[in-house]
């Protein structure tokens, strides 16, 4: 809570009653960030330090970590502010006790699950490209998606910048002559990746909604609504990101070892020239 009367804060902290707090203030014994206050003054509970007789009685709560999930509607930009005056997701979140910011992005025309937090380590853990937290999208495309197009998306496609996507899991939800509804699960976070993947195989995305991030699902949230994540959900996301990081490290090491074996040839690594010469001088290999 922000902009609260100081005597109310003192009473809520169990220091004294509101009436007694007013008397402490009149006596000059209460200071806000080192300065004397008067009865009726307010304080920002997220920023201000309150003392009585030089002793700290209220420390700002801004160090606390908060985690929220929002159903981002279409038409909103995933940023904290916009120089062009467009609507941002911050316009939708009002009664949060601290300043939070979006984790990752959903473009203006996309909707669905978006995380917001004031925990920078948590945000970096989830957005780092090597951690591979799964993201589930419900995607409506047109025209009708052929089997060949779906297979291509599943195997990975080359995007407009020349990069190739990792394999994706795809489930056909609705298959109609003029459109197809897909559920696509990816573990990357390239800019506008789903739309670019579909464009690469000749499909136009007409609706895109993120339904889940790891084990956290959108559930019954409606566009524009948000709620605080449970501690179990936060732990599940951390675990998924940590597991993805470990898997990526193993895959990287495996690829590096395979490359070294290939470079060494079928007979294993070659001994340095000096070592070969020394063996010849001793009479070659024994045994």
Q: Just list the catalytic residues.
A: 107
CA distances from 32 to 10, 53, 160 (A): 12, 11, 56
Tell whether omega for the bond before 143 is within 30 degrees of 0, i.e. cis.
yes
- Residue 67: beta bridge partners? 117
User: 55-58 and 135-142: which strand pairing?
Assistant: unpaired
Angle between helices 193-200 and 147-155 (to 10 degrees): 130
- Collapsing DSSP to helix, strand or coil, 115 comes out as strand
DSSP conformation letters of 73-105: PTT-BSSS--TT---BGGGT--S-SS--EEES-
**113 neighbors 212 (Cβ within 8 angstroms):** yes
User: 101-103 and 67-72: which strand pairing?
Assistant: unpaired
**67 neighbors 115 (Cβ within 8 angstroms):** yes
Angle between helices 231-264 and 120-127 (to 10 degrees): 40
């Amino acid at each position: 809570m922000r902009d609260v009367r100081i005597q109310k804060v003192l009473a809520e902290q169990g220091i004294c009653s509101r009436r007694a707090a007013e008397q402490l203030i009149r006596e000059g014994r209460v200071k806000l960030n080192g300065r004397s206050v008067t009865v009726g003054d307010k304080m920002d509970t997220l920023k201000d330090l309150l003392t009585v007789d030089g002793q700290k009685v209220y420390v700002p709560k801004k160090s606390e970590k908060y985690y929220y999930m929002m159903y981002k509607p279409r038409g909103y930009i995933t940023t904290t502010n916009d120089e062009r005056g467009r609507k941002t997701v911050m316009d939708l979140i009002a009664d949060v006790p601290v300043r939070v910011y979006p984790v990752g992005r959903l473009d203006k025309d996309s909707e669905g699950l978006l995380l917001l937090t004031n925990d920078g380590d948590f945000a970096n853990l989830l957005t780092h490209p090597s951690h591979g937290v799964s993201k589930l999208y419900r995607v409506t495309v047109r025209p009708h998606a052929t089997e060949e197009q779906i297979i291509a998306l599943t195997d990975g496609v080359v995007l407009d910048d020349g990069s190739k996507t990792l394999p994706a899991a795809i489930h056909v939800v609705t298959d109609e002559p003029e459109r197809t509804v897909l559920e696509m699960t990816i573990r990357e976070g390239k800019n506008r990746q789903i739309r670019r993947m579909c464009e690469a195989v000749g499909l136009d995305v007409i609706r895109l909604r993120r339904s889940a991030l790891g084990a956290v699902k959108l559930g019954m949230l409606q566009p524009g609504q948000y709620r605080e994540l449970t501690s179990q959900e936060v732990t599940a996301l951390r675990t998924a990101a940590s597991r993805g990081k470990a898997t990526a490290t193993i895959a990287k090491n495996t690829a590096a070892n395979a490359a070294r074996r290939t470079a060494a040839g079928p007979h294993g690594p070659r001994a340095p020239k000096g070592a070969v010469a020394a063996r010849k001088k001793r009479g070659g290999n024994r045994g």
